[in-house]
Amino acid sequence: MSREAKFSCGRDYFYTSHLYDALSESAGQGFDFICVNMAGPRYVRGGVCDNTADKREEPMSRSDLTLSTNDWNQLIVGKISSWINLEHSSKKVRESHEKAFYEELSYATHLSIPAVLVELNSSDCENLSSSLVAYLQQTNQHVWVKVPLTYPLNKEYSFNIEEVGREDPWEWWTKFYALCGCNKKISVVLEIGTRCVEAMVIDRWTGEPVKAYSVSTESFSSNQKGFPVLNKSTQSVINSLFKLNCQGILTGTNHVNKLMGITTYIQYLQHLWSIRDNESPVREFARGYEDFLQCPLQPLQDNLESQTYEMFEKDPVKYVRYEEAVKQALLDIKERETYQGKDVVVMVVGAGRGPLVKGTISASKATGISVKIFAVEKNPNAIITLRNLNIKEWNSLVTIVSSDMRLWTPPELADIIVSELLGSFGDNELSPECLDGAQHLLKPDAISIPTSYTSFLAPVSSTKLYNALANCVDPSKPAEAPYETPYVVYLHNVYLPAPCKPLFTFTHPNLQQNSNERYTQLQFEFSQNSVIHGFVGYFSSNLYKDITISIHPTTYSIGMFSWFPMYFPIRQPLYVEYADRVLVNFWRRVGKNKVWYEWSVSSPRASGVHNSGGKCYSIGL
Amino acid sequence: MSREAKFSCGRDYFYTSHLYDALSESAGQGFDFICVNMAGPRYVRGGVCDNTADKREEPMSRSDLTLSTNDWNQLIVGKISSWINLEHSSKKVRESHEKAFYEELSYATHLSIPAVLVELNSSDCENLSSSLVAYLQQTNQHVWVKVPLTYPLNKEYSFNIEEVGREDPWEWWTKFYALCGCNKKISVVLEIGTRCVEAMVIDRWTGEPVKAYSVSTESFSSNQKGFPVLNKSTQSVINSLFKLNCQGILTGTNHVNKLMGITTYIQYLQHLWSIRDNESPVREFARGYEDFLQCPLQPLQDNLESQTYEMFEKDPVKYVRYEEAVKQALLDIKERETYQGKDVVVMVVGAGRGPLVKGTISASKATGISVKIFAVEKNPNAIITLRNLNIKEWNSLVTIVSSDMRLWTPPELADIIVSELLGSFGDNELSPECLDGAQHLLKPDAISIPTSYTSFLAPVSSTKLYNALANCVDPSKPAEAPYETPYVVYLHNVYLPAPCKPLFTFTHPNLQQNSNERYTQLQFEFSQNSVIHGFVGYFSSNLYKDITISIHPTTYSIGMFSWFPMYFPIRQPLYVEYADRVLVNFWRRVGKNKVWYEWSVSSPRASGVHNSGGKCYSIGL
């Protein structure tokens, strides 16, 4: 699942009758593909297409023999004729245009070209969406819909949320894509002008299926050396789209410097790509898993496999923090009046293959405080590793206990209990239930590492995540299950229209035996119109005192890769206006044999309760 | 979908406590993987395994840290302890063995090793199959079941069909695999001895999921130069298994020549691989598509795409035969009394992108007989190609007709009608209906190319094909549809227990307007016990006089790749004894808008009618 994104840019030709030559020329200039009209321009007659395939003597377009299937399939984007207007008020014209539309689409599919390009010029798109979706039902053809970033494209622009309304192209697209039923075969080509736009204008598009940006040579100006350059705002827009691995399309002709050809434009875009925001270590680790929905692990119910342990043990941050926390706890115990130089009893519960045992041994060595370690683990396969390690590396000093921590009767009680039972949403791997069940192992003043953890929630806009749900069908579950189940996912093609808020907190030891059920209602304010597709979840944890680990976006433990965020979908995408408040309700429910979450939206429009009674998803106790 | 099979051979170790060293050693000797016991031998005590994961102080096996996940995952096959006997008469012993069995399986899954090896030593396998299938439901673990080719393995052997019965290991496997519900995660390792076996003994295994062969160094003898070699019969068995891309497993120690190490054995097997039966051109073309079920094309209902035309036009045999047939027909017409030097009218119906037009022009040039060509095609996208070709290559001499051949009113009548409307089963792309519908285009003495075609049928044994059906679920069709639908497939891991017989024949012109409905009952005799999973279909066609094309195995047009065979499944695998006669009924039904096949078995046991009324599969008219 690992593949590095590459810079890619195509050239937009209006029409060429010498396709092979155009392709050779543009390849020589450094372009990766070209965009050409599907049909010849002579087929427009007075705005009415009166050609039918049956009567014409001349061919509608160039022959498929002009290129090999391989070339059609990799190098050509086909533009649907721009004179085609499916919203025309005349029924006769509209029907004639629809016929031409299908002819061009059908020929594109015949040629196996990877995408056809359709322009969206206003919010009037009822017939376009209906005709397009009807066609897509029969084929695997992909369609790129070209939408301007702003309207008009190039006039000086001040984003005023209250005046935008129907003339905001994002609203055109949102209506069009809703009419198309969020069809996966449809993507966006964003047309970029020279206007300066605020960050929020482009941010909103980062949750949409944007595949390419289109920029005209007219948008470039000449720098001191005579080379074409873009203004800061446009650079920043393109940089945002590079994060989505968007390809470029260059339209227009060379005008900046006649001596230096069109190649200088592509070189400039390539330069922007090469200096784009650097990859983070986690992004590197997650490559290939962007927006890929995964079922959350259930380490309590299922035994983890060797390769899962192996991967998590490589986390460069988590175990350093844990060792630091154990060290601090040992030093604090040493300061207690009750400490008389005896071995501090440390129980590692859910020891897995022993990384926390190793950390405890190191902490003991570093502080000079001697410890007695019990490693409790319920997975018999990990027990084999622990026993081998105990013989070969730990000098048989660790007591290996093959048991569920909740069921074990200890020979003595613990001063410190160390566990790593946290999931992406904090409590979702049942850390609260396990640690509460292990409280009989503790001395009254025992320290728990971690001491507490909190889950966080934010609304999310992402057609990519929402569309991926349709692939998550499980015949053994209710039909709605994909839409009422949380997933673990590395977020990529998403937009968070409002900041995270804290949801549930758990602290340990839980001496009052407080219930682990929870209910919280959260309110989110929106700064602009958005379509939300659910909520994303994070956690942070205090291991001990001020030593924390976190995957919350603003307190993230940089370099830590053990957890991706959670995604809680909603059944229907929810259109939210900028003045709306979104109210969401979250429950954590605990049954006899399982734990589950339920969620619902109560404002601006009420949704049904998702995963009611744990019917679609639960975590086995 | 293209990947060349590679020689691969593993080494079987009984047990090694130094796994890393064993792996290095065997890699140095040229082995690709090793087979080692899952648990240490010390864990057998008096035939009873009294170890429980909870109480043992010592680890059951070596640590998972011994190798990286990558190495476990690619280089290790884990052998389940051979003392484990799940059919033991004592309940206590059986339960204890079952516990050990699950422990070893579970540890194998923990390690992500690609396969565990289990031995099948008799037909008593009720508990083994039950325990194994229960485990496989929870994991993606693959299991290799080792079965001897003959029993006993090495005694001199004469295959007597009537005496075999329960002591035939193929019968053990057949029972075991049926008890396992033909589970896809289970494959066969065939243990080969030194017995001479008849071809039919190994042939029967070519329909089973055989992944590897196992051969002992004891089976090798020394040649004149002191190198280890196998006898002719064993060579031939291994050669048959190479066709299924089987891997090797070498057991035992070097005994032939102490000076030359174990490497000489693997070199010998590699030598056998290098001289194995050569690939045919069709096998080359079909690589990656072996046993891959495809929906038959419906060129009448759907328009073919450019890449499909492109691929079929490359057939090195088909168009040569067609051109020869047109030549012959032209020469025959010239001999007629009615011929007066006028242009012979040739209509190419279903002209596609024009390969038969091209062939007709060549035939005209070669014979010096002038022709007038009409190219009739219903696909508007192919019409674009034909019109471009007519302008650029055919000097506008061809009349391009954009119409369904059944609906077109011609300006004059044809002397010759040429079509290529045949499918893998001959008539299954509705050539009979199309050509009958085009008879109004013909002069009374017109010649049809092709003149006739016949479908052929044979019973097939192939767990691979049968298991692939489960992946062919279409939610818009009845649940049983995958099992009552024909497929196009390149046959590979299959066994044909009886020769092909002719089924339906069609001739053209069909001046009497005979119905295209058909019913035929075929009878097949079996030479040995087999399990059949349906029927395979082929066709041959007389284009004109003695010029034929055929995909029937014994009259195959060598090098022709345009058609793979058909596979007609049956719902339940059918066990057939060698004396049984199999009676199968096939219908071709014609409705108003569709054509379909129905089939049933009436002996040795009756099946239901498959695809009754075309409920699962039909061809649109």
Residue range A487-510, pLDDT digits in tens: 999 999 999 999 999 999 999 999
Instruction: Say what the pLDDT of residue A429 is.
Output: 96
Beta-carbon neighbour count of residue B38 at 10 Å?
A: 27
Is residue B335 pLDDT above 70, yes or no? yes
CATH of domain A9-278: 3.20.20.150
Residue B309: phi and psi, rounded to 5, are -55, -45
Is residue B159 pLDDT above 80, yes or no? no
Residue B4 token pair: 């060349």
On the question of a common fold for A306-420 and A454-620, the answer reads no
Average pLDDT for B28-33: 95
Kindly state the percentage of chain B with pLDDT values over 70.
95
Helix, strand, coil tally for chain A in percent (to 5): 30, 25, 45
Per-residue pLDDT tens digits for B527-555: 899 999 999 999 999 999 999 999 999 99
Judge whether B429 counts as a catalytic residue.
yes
Sign, CA torsion B273/B279/B283/B284: positive
Kindly state the percentage of chain A with pLDDT values over 70.
95
Is residue A46 pLDDT above 50, yes or no? no
Give dist(CA A205, CA A528) in Å, integer: 12
Q: Which of A76, A384, A386, A389 to probe the B interface (max B CBs under 10 A)? A: A384
Helices B380-392 and B306-313: angle between axes, nearest 10 degrees: 60
Range scoring the smallest mean pLDDT among A309-313, B3-7, B459-463: B3-7
Average pLDDT for A419-431: 97
Tell me whether strands A594-603 and A619-620 are parallel, antiparallel or unpaired.
Answer: antiparallel
3-state secondary structure at position A571: strand
Residue B528 token pair: 């040995």
Residue A222's contacts (CB-CB under 8 Å, 6 or more residues apart) are A228, A229, A256, A257
Peptide bond between residue A482 and the one before it cis (omega within 30 degrees of 0): no
Per-residue pLDDT tens digits for A343-364: 999 999 999 999 999 999 999 9
Ranges of H-type helices in B182-305: 199-203, 232-242, 263-274, 281-285
How many residues comprise chain B? 621
Alpha-carbon separation of residue B223 from A19, A391, B215, B227, B411 (angstroms) = 65, 49, 18, 5, 78
Residue A578: phi and psi, rounded to 5, are -60, -25
Identify all chain A residues contacting B303, using CB atoms and an 8 Å cutoff: 106, 110
Beta-carbon neighbour count of residue A100 at 10 Å?
A: 24
The closest CB to that of A65, out of B59, B111, B385, belongs to B385
Instruction: Say what the pLDDT of residue A54 is.
Output: 41
pLDDT confidence of A52, banded at 50, 70, 90? very low
Give dist(CA A401, CA A405) in Å, integer: 9
Instruction: Say what the pLDDT of residue B4 is.
Output: 73
Cβ-based interface (< 8 Å): residues of B facing A: 53-54, 57-65, 68-69, 72-73, 103, 106-107, 109-112, 303, 305-307, 309-310, 353, 380-385, 387-389, 391-392, 402-403
- Spatial strand order in the sheet of A518-525: A518-525, A581-590, A594-603, A619-620
Of B421, B583, B568, B444, the closest CA to residue B506 belongs to B421
Of A117, A132, A129, the closest CA to residue A82 belongs to A117
Q: Do B106 and A305 lie within an 8 Å CB cutoff? A: no
pTM equals: 0.88
Topology (CATH level 3) of domain A454-620: Hnrnp arginine n-methyltransferase1 (2.70.160)
Average pLDDT for B214-222: 93
Tell me whether strands A487-488 and A442-449 are parallel, antiparallel or unpaired.
Answer: unpaired
| Minimum Cα–Cα distance from B400: chain A residue | A57
Kindly state the percentage of chain B with pLDDT values over 90.
82
**What radius of gyration do chain B's Cα atoms show?**
30
Give dist(CA B343, CA B368) in Å, integer: 11
3-state secondary structure B503-530: EEEEECCCCCCCCCCEEEEEEEECCCCE
* Cα angle: B260, vertex B264, B265; to 5 degrees: 130
Instruction: Say what the pLDDT of residue B283 is.
Output: 82
Give dist(CA B269, CA B242) in Å, integer: 11
Range scoring the smallest mean pLDDT among A98-112, A274-288, B482-496, B508-522: A274-288
Instruction: Say what the pLDDT of residue A579 is.
Output: 84
Average pLDDT for A88-110: 95
Give dist(CA A223, CA A205) in Å, integer: 30
Tell me whether strands A566-576 and A487-488 are parallel, antiparallel or unpaired.
Answer: antiparallel
Give dist(CA B14, CA B380) in Å, integer: 67
3-state secondary structure at position B611: coil
**CB distance B113 to B76 below 8 Å:** yes
DSSP state of B376: E
Question: Is B377 part of any known ligand binding site?
Answer: yes
Helix (H) or strand (E) holding A436: helix A431-437
Is residue B57 pLDDT above 80, yes or no? no
Is residue B54 pLDDT above 80, yes or no? no
The full DSSP string for A361-430 is HHHHHHHT--EEEEEEE--HHHHHHHHHHHHHTSTT-SEEEES-TTT---SS-EEEEEE---BTTBGGG-
Is residue A45 pLDDT above 90, yes or no? no
Per-residue pLDDT tens digits for B291-304: 999 999 889 899 99
The closest CB to that of A59, out of B103, B305, B387, belongs to B387
Cβ-based interface (< 8 Å): residues of A facing B: 53-54, 57-65, 68-69, 72-73, 103, 106-107, 109-112, 303, 305-307, 309-310, 353, 380-385, 387-389, 391-392, 402-403
Q: Which of B58, B64, B301, B391 to probe the A interface (max A CBs under 10 A)? A: B64
**CB distance A476 to A426 below 8 Å:** no
Per-residue pLDDT tens digits for A156-195: 555 555 555 557 999 999 999 999 999 999 999 999 988 8
Residue with tokens 């192996």: A310
Give dist(CA A196, CA A159) in Å, integer: 10
Of A434, A428, A538, the closest CA to residue A490 belongs to A538
Give dist(CA B420, CA B415) in Å, integer: 17
Is residue A117 pLDDT above 80, yes or no? yes
Instruction: Say what the pLDDT of residue A1 is.
Output: 43
Ramachandran category for residue A555: left, alpha or beta (phi over 0 → left; psi -120 to 50 → alpha): alpha
Instruction: Say what the pLDDT of residue B56 is.
Output: 52
Shortest Cα distance from B423 to chain A (angstroms)? 21
Burial class (CB in 10 A: 0-12, 13-18, 19+), A382: buried
ipTM above 0.85, yes or no: no
Give dist(CA A372, CA A415) in Å, integer: 10
pLDDT confidence of B49, banded at 50, 70, 90? very low
Per-residue pLDDT tens digits for B471-502: 999 989 999 999 999 999 999 999 999 999 99
Choosing among 4.10.520.10, 2.40.128.640, 3.90.1300.10, 2.70.160.11, the CATH entry for B452-620 is 2.70.160.11
**CB distance A193 to A153 below 8 Å:** yes
Beta-carbon neighbour count of residue B366 at 10 Å?
A: 14
Average pLDDT for A330-335: 97
pLDDT confidence of B48, banded at 50, 70, 90? very low
DSSP state of A189: E
| Minimum Cα–Cα distance from B302: chain A residue | A138
**CB distance A11 to A31 below 8 Å:** yes
Cα B263 from chain centre: 34
Residue A367's contacts (CB-CB under 8 Å, 6 or more residues apart) are A327, A330, A331, A334
Q: What is the largest CA-CA distance in chain A?
A: 103
Give dist(CA A534, CA A584) in Å, integer: 10
**CB distance A125 to A88 below 8 Å:** no
Instruction: Say what the pLDDT of residue A196 is.
Output: 80
Q: What is the mean pLDDT of chain A?
A: 92
Q: What is the mean pLDDT of chain B?
A: 92
Topology (CATH level 3) of domain B306-420: Rossmann fold (3.40.50)
Is residue B44 pLDDT above 60, yes or no? no
Per-residue pLDDT tens digits for B353-364: 999 999 999 999
The domain locations on chain A are 9-278, 306-420, 454-620
Residue B218 token pair: 């004891």
Give dist(CA A14, CA A82) in Å, integer: 10
Instruction: Say what the pLDDT of residue A193 is.
Output: 87
Identify all chain A residues contacting B310, using CB atoms and an 8 Å cutoff: 68-69
Instruction: Say what the pLDDT of residue B408 is.
Output: 97
